């Protein structure tokens, strides 16, 4: 009797194990639990990548647009330069997790036997604060192809510390984990243009 009962118990256990193995009712739920995090990660990474690319294009557009507006003037003042830089900053919208730095520099290449590249005037907005960048007569550099004696140039530099959405918080607190490794992505562009309406552009109060 004992042997028969033991055999019957083993048979029941084996039967339950077979039925459990054959039961597929929970497979879909388990697969769903594994796949959803991967799909969500792919979705957010794709969304973040597309926004980063679009923001990078806008940073480049800031430089070209600001340079274009400045070079259309014959004379200019600080208030006008600050307003133009504000227009440039607004092109980043709706992105608003960080603000761009914009530097406008008027450059004169002298007619000396060995031409010098000098700053005539400059204006910048860095961290949302307007001010002077390089002092007049400061020596600077331009690409070799633009170093032509007697040339007047407007240089616009636009830079942005792009903050991915996974690193950003409304409070501005430092995030941990993955976000700390990608706290910001540096984006920037530099444009050079010559004046459109005159040979030089003077700034009365720079």
What's the pLDDT at 20?
Answer: 58
Position 43 scores a pLDDT of 79
Is the whole-model pTM more than 0.85?
no
Cα separation, 125 vs 128, in Å, equals: 6
- Give the other-Cβ count within 10 Å of 63's Cβ: 25
- The two tokens of residue 33 are 């639990």
Q: Where are the domains of the chain?
A: 27-203
Tokens of 93: 């919208």
Q: What is the pLDDT of residues 59-110, one digit of tens each?
A: 999 999 999 999 999 999 999 999 999 999 999 988 888 899 999 999 999 9
* pLDDT, one tens digit for every residue, the chain (206 residues): 445 555 555 566 666 666 656 656 666 667 777 887 888 778 777 888 888 899 999 999 999 999 999 999 999 999 999 999 999 999 998 888 889 999 999 999 999 999 999 999 999 999 999 999 999 999 999 999 999 999 999 999 999 999 887 765 555 554 444 444 557 789 999 999 999 999 999 998 98
In this structure, are strands 101-109 and 75-76 parallel, antiparallel, or unpaired? Answer: unpaired
Q: Contact 147/124 with Cβ under 8 angstroms?
A: no
What is residue 7's predicted lDDT score, i.e. its pLDDT?
55
pLDDT of residue 23: 57
Q: Are 123 and 135 in contact (CB under 8 A)?
A: no
């Amino acid at each position: 009797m004992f042997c028969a009962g033991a055999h019957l118990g083993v048979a029941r256990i084996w039967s339950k194990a077979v039925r459990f193995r054959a039961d597929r009712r929970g497979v879909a739920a388990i697969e769903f639990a594994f796949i959803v995090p991967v799909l969500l990660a792919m979705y957010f990474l794709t969304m973040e990548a597309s926004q980063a690319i679009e923001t990078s294009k806008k940073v480049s557009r800031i430089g070209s647009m600001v340079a274009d507006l400045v070079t259309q003037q014959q004379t200019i003042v600080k208030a006008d330069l600050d307003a133009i830089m504000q227009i440039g900053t607004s092109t980043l919208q709706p992105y608003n997790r960080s603000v761009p730095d914009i530097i406008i520099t008027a450059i004169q290449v002298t007619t000396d036997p060995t031409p010098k590249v000098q700053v005539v005037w400059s204006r910048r907005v860095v961290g949302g604060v307007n001010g002077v960048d390089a002092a007049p007569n400061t020596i600077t550099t331009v690409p070799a192809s633009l170093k032509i004696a007697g040339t007047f140039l407007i240089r616009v530099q636009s830079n942005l510390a792009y903050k991915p959405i996974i690193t950003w918080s409304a409070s501005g607190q430092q995030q941990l984990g993955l976000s700390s490794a990608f706290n910001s992505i540096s984006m920037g562009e530099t444009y050079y243009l010559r004046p459109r309406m005159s040979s030089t552009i003077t700034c009365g109060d720079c």
